[in-house]
Amino acid sequence: MKTLFKAIDEMRTDIKELKSDVNKSKGGFRVLLLIGGAIASLLGFIKYNG
């Protein structure tokens, strides 16, 4: 029974770590989208006004 509880606790910590990794990935993806959008806007502005 103790080994079962230990396994469940280990799974919980693994799940928490996985959730934090996924959240970091989401944040990084949003930053890349923001930077890409800014670059695309700047290039579009230069192309149509230049």
Q: How far is CA 14 from CA 25, 34, 35, in A?
A: 17, 31, 32
5 burial class (0-12, 13-18, 19+ CB within 10 angstroms)? exposed
What pTM, to 2 d.p., does this model score? Answer: 0.61
- Give CA–CA dist 5/3, Å, rounded: 5
Chain-centroid distance of CA 1 in Å reads 37
Q: Where are the domains of the chain?
A: 1-49
What does each of the 50 residues of the chain score in pLDDT, given as a tens digit? 889 999 999 999 999 999 999 999 999 999 999 999 999 999 999 988 76
Q: Which token pair is 32?
A: 């890349």
